[in-house]
Amino acid sequence: MKVDEIIKAKNLPIKDFDGIIIGGGGSGMRTSLQLAESGLKTAVISKVFPTRSHTVSAQGGITCAIQSDDPEDDWRWHMFDTVKGSDYIGDQDAIEYMCSEGPKAIFELEHMGLPFSRTEEGRIYQRPFGGQSKDYGRGGQASRTCAAADRTGHSLLHTLYQANLKAGTDFLNEWFAIDLVLNSEKEVTGVIAFEIESGEIFYIRSRATVLATGGAGRIYASTTNALINSGDGIGMALRAGFPVQDIEMWQFHPTGIYGHGTLVTEGCRGEGGYLINNEGERFMERYAPNAKDLASRDVVARAMAKEILEGRGCGTNQDHIKLRLDHLGPEVVHKRLPGITELSKTFAHVDPAVEPIPVVPTCHYMMGGIPTNIHGQVITIKDGKDSLVNGLYAAGEVACVSVHGGNRLGGNSLLDLVVFGRAAGIYIEKSLKQGLSLQLSSEDDIDQALNRLNNLNSSKDGKETAELKKGMQQNMQNNFGVFRRGDLMEKGIEDLTNTRNAFENIYLSDKSAFFNTARIEALELQNLFEVAEATAITANERKESRGAHARDDFPERDDDNWLKHSIYFSSDKSVSKRDVNFRPNTVQAFQPEERKY
Amino acid sequence: MNSTIPTEELRSITLSVYRFDPGKDKKAYMQDIEIEVPVNKDLMVLDALVLAKKQETSLSFRRSCGEGVCGSDGMNINGKNGLACVTPLSEAIKGEKLVVKPMPGLPVVRDLIVDMKQFFDQLEKVKPYLITKDEAPEQERKQSPEEREKLDGLYECILCGCCSTACPSFWWNPDKFLGPAALLQSWRFIADSRDQATEERLDDLDDAFSLYRCHGIMNCVSVCPKGLNPTEAISNIRKKLINRKK
């Protein structure tokens, strides 16, 4: 059965696995490793060869209180920083779990061979990152981010791939997942997916389906994200009738290379680099007198945007900021930041050991996602209450277990991947071995999941992918960026509403079966559109400023009304609120305070 | 940031690109596609391919990160293997023409996409993972900065395949000669102070083909987009093999 045909469920071949993981990045491969070692029949479905996944682009490190730089460091301090960084809508049970389990997960990675940089004592090297403190904010800057030079994501992803090879994980590489298959109980029984090269399509059936599809930064025109970051898991979940949480919370990384978007790690500022405006002023001293350039990312990105808006941007168009590293000396720049040196030379034509790098705040990370508990089990809302979705799990950037809340701290995304990828694996292994079973899906259920593909394959006219994508990305960039305003967002939402039909009916001119990237891009764009619309509608509903969500028309945080998660369903485009968890197990909850850096 | 797209002065270039769709083409052919690129801004080859795909939506190539770290878009650009996303047009283009073909030596799946199976099969043969025999400590295994430094120039490999598909020895024996990428990975683990399988790794390489088919042509070094040196890694393994026979 090939992907270029109009397909009926009754003809569709089936592949059976105990567990499937959709996505071969850091979280997916951490889950698969856990399951492969358990002897269960599991497969990773990845649309790219696993080491091409976007985890590879993470640079600066993985934050965790492993007590190398500071033997007195405490995971509770890390927890405090993360809660504060989240602007108090991170779930404290999940943050507690991540920060306390973190060291175990890091040491496991080291045992697998991750080539961390080292201290003189032979321990893992840790560097300072934004928003880090000792002693619950009272003890000054901490150095808590474990690093492999500035190639930590590359090292982590390759190490996990290597460990999976060793464990004998079954990889379905260059397979694309189209939609989830449900049953009459609205449980998830697997996914429709095809092998990109041959075009062979299957219903891949499983008792545990894990979404580990990463982010969706490509909804914006300018992003640090890979071209493959199209929110496939979010699209699949929304179409299946499951919600997304805090999807309006998008991190703009302070330092994307001007004109290109390539990430320049926060580790640059951790190693002593700083930002300057066109007067050469180290302006972060005005915005964050204590932490300065190592304030939280939302704070730094807004300060940069303000400098530019007030006419102090650099360059002939006064539209960017400069990142100085030259004062650190070539030794530090080349040894600690070799990848940045390479990227700066390639994309900005500057050697950072000599000249500053031109940078602008650039879309970087999706704090929101599919709500889950700490075991990766997906949560939906029924009659205003949390309800677990049988058969479906999520981990990593696609999930919102909510450790990042309104703003993620640097180095916490890699930790999120390995801690919750691992946690999901442990939980799934246990429940599968206890004999978890699901009702079978009917042919109608399967046909439902084939709709999107069949629609695309029968398209006869309309707009094509490239044209539609450009308009959507520009809309998101202009109306849902660092600063947001009701009237502009409404205009943006209207534009999305008006174009939904065109996105649902993309015209696919090339309908061939073998390695057809045009079909993939069309399917991806439909996923991006779901993410964009969810972002837009939810952003307009959250009438306050919190974390990365900064509104000119509601400049203050509103704890009375919005110390809440947002929950969005695409079926009726509704936004509701969900309680934030303030019940950690072993420490007192951290109560909201004014955020100062 | 809000951004506006300024109007740019454009010039036309010809992209001559290898085309083959196994569903309809009996054999491969080269297609010329005219694209407009900015005069004052240097694009990368990948940008040019994306522009071409807007006109020819069926044109297929792999790409992901767009910044030279994921290794998806290795291809043959004006006769030399490289990553499309970090090869500037100003460097790649000869005259007004840019010739782009798939990496040589591997079967073509479609257009610029090659079947990497042989490449990854060879990689797996070197057991590209840390092997330890002692029980892991509670914390990390200790490694000095000097020991860790031995991995620099090795762990950065992105498995793009540019080196192995530029290697005549690999073209001739892609099933027997492991190729520069796999051998660099082999040395990456032999060189790691934490790895405890040096002897078995060397045993596996001690035949006429796996390693010794390297003739020091050094194409691998000249094309590596990460500036790595597989030839040196191979010669390091060779030295170990020779020393152990003494």
Burial class (CB in 10 A: 0-12, 13-18, 19+), A454: middle
Measured in angstroms, the CA of A509 and the nearest CA of chain B are apart by 7
Q: Select from A52, A263, A481 the Cβ nearest to the Cβ of B72.
A: A52
Q: Does B3 touch chain A (CB under 8 A)?
A: yes
Whole-angstrom distance, CA of residue A187 vs CA of residue B90: 54
Verify whether the Cβ–Cβ distance A116 to B148 is below 8 Å.
yes
pLDDT at B6 (0 to 100): 53
Q: Which amino acid is at A24?
A: G
| Strand residue runs (E) in chain B | 10-19, 29-38, 74-77, 80-83, 97-101, 108-110, 113-114
Verify whether the Cβ–Cβ distance A518 to B57 is below 8 Å.
yes
Verify whether the Cβ–Cβ distance A49 to B110 is below 8 Å.
no
Q: What are phi and psi of A475, to 5 degrees?
A: -60, -50
Cross-strand pairs, B12: B36
Structural contact between residues A144 and A69, judged by C-beta atoms closer than 8 angstroms: yes
Q: Name the nearest CA neighbour of A18 among A31, A30, A7.
A: A31
List, as own/partner pairs, every contact residues A457-461 make where C-beta atoms lie below 8 angstroms and the sequence separation is at least 24, other chains included: A457/A3, A457/A4, A457/A5, A457/A6, A457/A508, A457/A511, A458/A6, A459/A505, A459/A506, A459/A507, A459/A508, A460/A507, A461/A507
Strands of the sheet containing A244-245, edge to edge, are A244-245, A564-569, A574-579
Q: Which residues of A touch B65 (CB under 8 A)?
A: 52, 54, 56-57, 226-227
Q: Which residues of B touch A465 (CB under 8 A)?
A: 57
Q: Which residues of B touch A118 (CB under 8 A)?
A: 143-145, 147-148
Whole-angstrom distance, CA of residue A172 vs CA of residue A176: 9
**For residue B52, what is the nearest residue in chain A, using CA coordinates?**
A466
Whole-angstrom distance, CA of residue A147 vs CA of residue A106: 11
Verify whether the Cβ–Cβ distance A165 to B124 is below 8 Å.
yes
The ipTM value here is 0.96
Q: What is the mean pLDDT of chain B?
A: 95
Measured in angstroms, the CA of A252 and the nearest CA of chain B are apart by 9
Mutant choice from B118, B140, B193, B228 vs A, greatest count of A C-beta within 10 A? B140
Measured in angstroms, the CA of B246 and the nearest CA of chain A are apart by 31
Structural contact between residues A152 and A58, judged by C-beta atoms closer than 8 angstroms: yes
How many residues would you count in chain B? Answer: 246
Measured in angstroms, the CA of A183 and the nearest CA of chain B are apart by 34
Higher confidence at residue A49 or residue B246?
A49
pLDDT at B4 (0 to 100): 47
Verify whether the Cβ–Cβ distance B130 to A221 is below 8 Å.
no
Whole-angstrom distance, CA of residue A504 vs CA of residue A493: 16
Verify whether the Cβ–Cβ distance A515 to B24 is below 8 Å.
no
Q: Which residues of A touch B120 (CB under 8 A)?
A: 49
Q: Which amino acid is at A131?
A: G
pLDDT interval class at B60 (50, 70, 90) = very high
Q: Which residues of A touch B128 (CB under 8 A)?
A: 162, 165
pLDDT interval class at B111 (50, 70, 90) = very high
pLDDT at B7 (0 to 100): 62
**Beta-strand relationship, B108-110 and B80-83:** unpaired
Q: What is the DSSP letter of A441?
A: P
- Segment B77-108, tens digit of pLDDT: 999 999 999 999 999 987 778 999 999 999 99
- Segment B116-152, tens digit of pLDDT: 999 999 999 999 999 999 999 999 999 999 999 999 9
Q: Which residues contact A364 (CB under 8 A, 6 or more apart)?
A: A217, A223, A224, A225, A251, A252, A253, A256, A263, A297
pLDDT at A146 (0 to 100): 98
Whole-angstrom distance, CA of residue B16 vs CA of residue B34: 9
pLDDT at A80 (0 to 100): 98
Q: What are phi and psi of A372, to 5 degrees?
A: -140, 165
**For residue A345, what is the nearest residue in chain B, using CA coordinates?**
B86
- Per DSSP, the residues of B112-173 read TEE--HHHHHHHHHT--S----SPPPSSPPP--HHHHHTTTTTTT-----TTGGG-HHHHH-
Q: Which residues of A touch B92 (CB under 8 A)?
A: none
**For residue A363, what is the nearest residue in chain B, using CA coordinates?**
B1
pLDDT at A437 (0 to 100): 87
Catalytic amino acids of A?
A: 297
- Domains in chain B (CATH in brackets) are 10-114 (3.10.20.30), 117-245 (1.10.1060.10)
Measured in angstroms, the CA of B243 and the nearest CA of chain A are apart by 26
pLDDT at B40 (0 to 100): 86
Token pair listed for A311: 């006419």
Whole-angstrom distance, CA of residue A247 vs CA of residue A537: 9
- Would the pLDDT of B245 be above 80? no
Per-residue pLDDT of chain A (597 residues; tens, 9 = 90+): 999 999 999 999 999 999 999 999 999 999 999 999 999 999 999 999 999 999 999 999 999 999 999 999 999 999 999 999 999 999 999 999 999 999 999 999 999 999 999 999 999 999 999 999 999 999 999 999 999 999 999 999 999 999 999 999 999 999 999 999 999 999 999 999 999 999 999 999 999 999 999 999 999 999 999 999 999 999 999 999 999 999 999 999 999 999 999 999 999 999 999 999 999 999 999 999 999 999 999 999 999 999 999 999 999 999 999 999 999 999 999 989 999 999 999 999 999 999 999 999 999 999 999 999 999 999 999 999 999 999 999 999 999 999 999 999 999 999 999 999 999 999 999 999 998 889 999 999 999 999 999 999 999 999 999 999 999 999 999 999 999 999 999 999 999 999 999 999 999 999 999 999 999 999 999 999 999 999 999 999 999 999 999 999 999 999 999 999 999 999 999 999 999 999 999 999 999 999 999
How many CB atoms lie under 10 A from the CB of residue A517? Answer: 21
Chain B stretch 115-144, residues whose beta carbon is closer than 8 A to a beta carbon of chain A: 115-116, 120, 124, 127-130, 132, 136, 138-144
| Strand residue runs (E) in A395-549 | 399-400, 483-484
Q: Which residues of A touch B189 (CB under 8 A)?
A: 113
Measured in angstroms, the CA of B127 and the nearest CA of chain A are apart by 8
